[in-house]
Chain A
Amino acid sequence: MIELEKQLLFLEKRLIYLNDIKGEIFGERLNTLQNWLAKLKEQLYTLSAKDVQKNINKISAQISLYEKEAEKKLTPLDYVRIVRHPFRISLKDILENVYDDYVELAGADECNIDPAVVAARATINRKVGHRIYTYQVMVIGHEKGHGEEFRNGGSAKPWGNAKALQFMKVAETEGIPIHSYIFTPGAFPIEDYPGAAQQIARNLYAMAGIRVPIIAFISEGGSGGAEAIGLADLRLMFSHGYYSVISPEGAAAIEGKLKEGKKASPELIRFCAEQLKITAKDNLQLGTIDRIIQEPPLGAKREDYDFFNRLKREVIKATDEVILSVKSLGTLRAYHYKKNGYKDTDNIYVRWQLDEKEIQRLIQKRRQKYRNMGTNFYVDLRSPLHRKVSNLKDKFLYAKTYICYDLLRRPRRRIQQFSEEIKAELLVIFNHLLSPLVKLRNKILPPKLSYLVSEELQEMEKVCLRGGYVSPRAKVDKTISCPNAERYGCYDIWIPDLYSEFCGICPNCGHHFPLEYQWYIHCLFDKNSVKEFNAEIASINPLNYKGFDEKLEEARQKTGRHSAIITFDAKILGIELIVAMLYSDFRGGTVGAAEGEKFVLACERAKRLRRPLLAYVHGTAGIRIQEGTIGVIQMPKCTVAVREYLEAGGLYIVVYDNNSYAGPVASFLGCAPYQFAIRSSKIGFAGPRVIRETTGEDIPPDYHSARNALRRGHIQGIWDRRDFRKNLYMALRTMGGKNLYYR
């Protein structure tokens, strides 16, 4: 009887689940089943066991039928519902059922720096023939805990992501693969150190060079939070998961331009869920994931043991695949894989260890993987001939740089260093011989008139801001109030003064009013030194998001440009540099495939030409939601490019201005070693509204201010706009030192 009761209970759960996920399509039919089940429960002890079992089988069959029917009618929004359901498999279930043994690291349940993130050392066994092999792996992932409140729905706090990074490093030291399981609706958007955005950026940067295989499994891939542990060699996705740039509700709030506190209509949410292309199939098509792991109808629940078995095989296979793709293999096995592909590894033992050469290949391959992502989702408007010509030009430039810096400079520098050494030696001897005379002379005569030599004296004169540009805003005879007037007693400012001489800065309190991006292009760099490249790489509407074509066209009309980023060569007092400038006039400075590609190209150009790279963020609202996960993968893609540039010896400086938020900050901007902010700018992961909605708490009005970002250690300094040119010049000189290789 106990067995039957158990079965009944299980049926009940299945029914509840079915009702929760897709109840609306069955209407009365589910009620009938429910009543049947309830009646059966009442009669459990009056009916014979056989009869009960019969009924159970009948009901079960009916439920299975319904489940299959529901499965066919699943809409994108239903997948969201599935992954958020408390019955959904969680990381702990996987650790219990897929791995053979595990030890949870850094915390247990509530007693944990962040219960939303679980790290565990685990073993996984594989049977080959009669032998059993045991692999050691590091499992890192989000734990939703079947609705346990302290798990925070799998939303990792900044320190949770830091914990993930800590154990990735452990895995790297130990040389064991990392399995990362993504079960997150998104990162918890708080700025406390180490900071939501900054920590994700740090994780991405680290993963771009981690020396062990990483395999990621996505169940709930909520944008930046997912990327924090998602930059993997292989990305697998559960068939009933979703992977999206933003929650459908969040997208609907933006789409509907809703005021705070208002809820979006269910229709709008459904519309967004469909437009965002969030399902596993969609993502496979977009190339943002590599494979789908099939789940049972309506998704895997914690009792689906068949699924765990399948998952185990997939986990092993995926790890094998990554390892084998970079391994130097014996002839026989090489032949085998060539013939059958890496997938057929069931019966062959693969050592999950790599030597140095293979590690390099692994990292190279990983970087290439992200480099190639999303390349089909923008257009280059240049004619093929035009493209060829400019390609040729670039090649010539690269060759010149190579000759100048690598072939000629190095030997010359060596000779120079040698001669300096000799001179210094000689001077020591000389001083010894002459010292009595010098002392005598100093006694008799007043100190000699001797000037110190400094070649930089004249240069400092020129670092003041360049004038000659007048903002179109300066043409109104009106005044404007400074937002700090009440606090500092600032007078109203005459607009023609504010937008010309004052550089948009309140002369009393120093508040920075926003200025158009053109001001920076004109005033920051040497005259006629700004030369744009890749202007013709254009944003498109890769997901055919309804209504977005019009918005894109509007942005093009408004700005006369094709994407939200401008990349150009420029000079500051003769120092050549590459600049990537995100500006908010074009779709809020959001980053999509075209922007990501242009940024990567700028990194590559800076690397090849051996020039410093400045990312000036005039404003960015984050990843472009209308590009869905194509947008999201720009985060790892660009971060990889930054890492390659920095490893080649580049100097990368980020300067934030106005409003810099979300994805870009949480990746290729936030990972920069030098980050500065212009005064009065706001930097952060999510805006006040999102914070209020996810954390349920109000934040102070200055929560994202540059000052607070500095206080939290997210940035290295705050710059006055008037000192921008000077500070940038100083930064290039001091951080690059006297021997900047690009001078």
Chain B
Amino acid sequence: MTSKQQMKIEDIIAEYKRNPYQVFTISTPHTGIVSLKVTKGQKVQGTTGKWLERKGTLLYTLVRQGNEKRFYAPIDGEITDLDESLDGQFVEAKTPLMSIKHKLSKEEAINKVLEKFLEIYNAPETAKYYLAPELYQKIEQKGLKKALINPGEELLIMSRMKRDVVLNYEGRPGIIYVIYFKPNTTVNQGDPLLGICPPEQLEFISHLVKRIYLEWE
């Protein structure tokens, strides 16, 4: 590792140490009558469990057409910007209700830092994205950080204006390290979709991860 890289890592770590928070806005997915179940400043717990099978703190319920749905905290943190006036009211889709101020954990900080070192595949257009079926299967079988993608192979399916376009991978062979998008949600143009790591970089990346592990408190 060059000293330049070393410096960079240190800068980044310092920056995250200064402000180790990320704010998540919680908005209603659709219309309905909302009932808030948390108070301002309350600490909430996110999804847990090995398979993310245990739900977090109940944030609010939304009743639409006789169906009460419960919405849980996706992540640990503290409730801020709670709009209490909406409690018991009818709301439109995508109405912001509250924010969760989340303190980055060691792993998340690592992921954030990794974004700067991995080759990030950004969304070429604002569209919905899906993993290409073959790649999806590969990841299902082998798991993330194991599946290798070669140039020319199908990477993603971009779905926009009712048309599906296959995106082929270009560039050096790499390992799919992180997936940033969720299927069936619109990704804005330029947002990260995938983090790809060239196989020979794997060692450096794991070294980096170790460094942060040691230094992050």
**Chain A residues engaging chain B, CB cutoff 8 angstroms:** 476-481, 487-489, 492, 494, 698, 700-701
Is the C-beta of B184 less than 8 angstroms from some C-beta in chain A?
yes
Q: Which residues of A contact B69 (CB under 8 A)?
A: 481
Min CB gap B132→A, angstroms: 18
Q: List 16 A-B contacts (CB under 8 A).
A: A476-B66, A477-B66, A478-B65, A478-B66, A479-B64, A479-B66, A479-B67, A480-B67, A488-B184, A489-B183, A492-B64, A492-B67, A698-B50, A700-B50, A701-B51, A701-B53
**In the complex, the 7 A-B pairs of residues with the closest C-beta atoms, listed nearest first:** A478-B66, A489-B184, A479-B67, A479-B65, A701-B53, A700-B51, A492-B67
Known: A698-B49, A701-B51. 15 other contacts (CB 8 A): A476-B66, A477-B66, A478-B65, A478-B66, A479-B64, A479-B67, A480-B67, A481-B69, A488-B184, A492-B65, A492-B67, A494-B65, A698-B50, A700-B50, A701-B53
Is the CB–CB distance between B53 and A700 below 8 Å?
yes
Quick one: closest B residue to A480, CB to CB?
B67
Q: Which of B65-110 contact A (CB under 8 A)?
A: 65-67, 69
How far apart sit A402 and B37, CA to CA, in the bound complex (Å)? 71
Contacts of B65 in A (CB 8 A): 478-479, 492, 494
| CB-CB nearest in chain A for B65 | A479
- Please give, as numbers and ranges, the residues of chain B lying within 8 Å of A480 by CB-CB distance: 67
Give the distance in Å from the alpha carbon of A478 to the alpha carbon of B66 in the complex: 5
Q: Which residues of chain B in 15-55 are interfacial with respect to chain A, using CB atoms and an 8 Å cutoff?
A: 49-51, 53
B149-197 with Cβ < 8 A to chain A: 183-184
Q: Which residue of A lies closest to B69 (CB)?
A: A481
Please indicate the chain B residues that have their CB under 8 angstroms from the CB of A481 in the complex. Answer: 67, 69
CA distance A698 to B49 in the complex (A): 9
Residue in chain A with minimal CB distance to B53: A701
Closest A residue to B49 using CB positions: A698
Q: What is the CB-to-nearest-CB distance from B105 to chain A, in angstroms, rounded to a whole number?
A: 21
Task: With both chains docked as a complex, state the minimum distance between the C-beta of A257 and any C-beta of chain B, in angstroms.
Answer: 21
Could you say which interface size class chain B belongs to? 10 to 19
How many Å lie between the Cα of A477 and that of B69 in the bound state? 16
Q: Output the least CB separation between B65 and chain A (Å).
A: 4
Q: How far is the CB of A377 from chain B (nearest CB, A)?
A: 41
Closest-CB distance, A111 to chain B (whole angstroms): 31
CB neighbours (8 Å) of A477 from chain B are 66
Q: Which residue on B lies nearest to A701, using beta carbons?
A: B53
For residue B183, which residues in chain A have a CB less than 8 angstroms away from its CB?
A: 487, 489
**What chain B residues lie within 8 Å of A479 (beta carbons)?**
64-67
Give the complex CA separation of A339 and B23 in angstroms. Answer: 91
Q: Which of B49, B65, B183 has the most CB of A within 10 A?
A: B65
- With both beta carbons as reference points, the residue of chain B lying nearest to A698 in the complex is identified as B50
CB distance from A691 to the nearest CB of B (A): 14
Chain B residues, CB < 8 A from A476: 66
Q: Closest CB-CB distance, B64 to chain A, in whole Å?
A: 7
Chain B nearest CB from A476 CB (Å) reads 7
Residues in A neighbouring B66, C-beta threshold 8 A: 476-479
> In the complex the two chains form, what is the Cα distance from A478 to B51 in whole Å?
31
- A479–B69 alpha-carbon span in the complex (Å): 11
**Chain A residues, Cβ within 8 Å of B49:** 698
Residues of A within 8 A of B51 (CB): 700-701
Task: Return B60 CB to nearest CB of chain A, in Å.
Answer: 15
Residues of B within 8 A of A494 (CB): 65
* Contact residues in A for B64 (Cβ distance below 8 Å): 479, 492
Q: Bound state CA distance, A700 and B51, in angstroms?
A: 6
A335 → chain B closest CB, angstroms: 70
Name the distance in Å between B6's Cβ and chain A's nearest Cβ. Answer: 40
CB distance from B71 to the nearest CB of A (A): 11
Q: Which B residues are in CB contact (< 8 Å) with A698?
A: 49-50
Closest to A476 in B: B66
**CB proximity of B69 to chain A, nearest CB, Å:** 6
Report A-chain residues with C-beta under 8 Å of the C-beta of B67: 478-481, 492
By a CB distance below 8 angstroms, the chain A residues around B50 are: 698, 700
Nearest CB of chain A from residue B55's CB, rounded to whole Å: 11
Which residues of A are found within 8 Å of B184, using beta-carbon distances? 488-489
A494 to B64, CA, bound (A): 11
B181 CB → nearest A CB, Å:
14
Please, how many angstroms separate the alpha-carbon atoms of A68 and B69 in the complex? Answer: 63
Complex Cα distance, B69 from A487, in Å, reads: 16
Task: Give the distance to chain B from A127, nearest Cβ to Cβ, in Å.
Answer: 60
Give Cα A477 to B67, complex, Å: 10
Measured CB to CB, the closest approach of chain B to A687, in angstroms, equals 15
Q: How far is the CA of A700 from the CA of B53 in the complex (A)?
A: 8
Shortest CB-to-CB span from B59 to chain A, Å, is 15
> A708 to chain B: closest CB distance in Å?
13
Q: How far is the CA of A605 from the CA of B184 in the complex (A)?
A: 53
Distance A477 CA – B66 CA, assembled complex (angstroms): 8
Bound together, the chains give a CA A476 to CA B65 distance in angstroms of: 11
Residues in B whose Cβ lies below 8 Å from that of A700: 50-51, 53
Please give me the residue from chain B that is nearest to A485 by CB atom.
Answer: B69
**Residue of B with least CB distance to A488:** B184
Closest to A490 in B: B184
Minimum CB distance partner of B30 in chain A: A492
Least Cβ–Cβ distance between B73 and chain A, in angstroms: 15
Alpha-carbon separation in the docked complex, A480 to B53 (Å): 21
**Nearest Cβ on chain A to B32's Cβ, whole angstroms:** 10
Considering the chains assembled together, what is the distance between the CA atoms of A703 and B72 in angstroms?
24
B206 CB → nearest A CB, Å = 27
Inside 8 A of A487's CB, which chain B residues have their CB?
Answer: 183
A487 to B130, CA, bound (A): 12
A500 to B53, CA, bound (A): 31
CA distance A149 to B66 in the complex (A): 54
Cα-based distance from A476 to B67 in the complex (angstroms): 11
CA A479 to CA B65, docked complex, whole Å: 6
> Which chain B residue has the least Cβ–Cβ distance from A688?
B53
In the bound assembly, the distance between CA atoms of A480 and B49 in angstroms comes to: 26
> A692 to nearest B CB, angstroms?
12
| Least distance between B23 CB and chain A CB atoms (Å) | 22
CA distance A489 to B109 in the complex (A): 30
Whole-angstrom distance between the Cβ of A492 and the nearest chain B Cβ = 5
- Complex alpha-carbon distance, A700 and B65, angstroms: 32
> With a CB–CB cut-off of 8 A, which chain B residues contact A492?
64-65, 67
B68 to chain A, nearest CB (A): 9
The answer for the CA separation of A196 and B51 in the assembled complex, in Å, is 23
CA gap between A492 and B64 in the complex, in Å: 9
**Min CB distance, B138 to chain A, in Å?**
17
Chain A residues, CB < 8 A from B53: 700-701
| Minimal beta-carbon separation of B127 from chain A (angstroms) | 15
A492 to B51, CA, bound (A): 24
Least Cβ–Cβ distance between B62 and chain A, in angstroms? 11
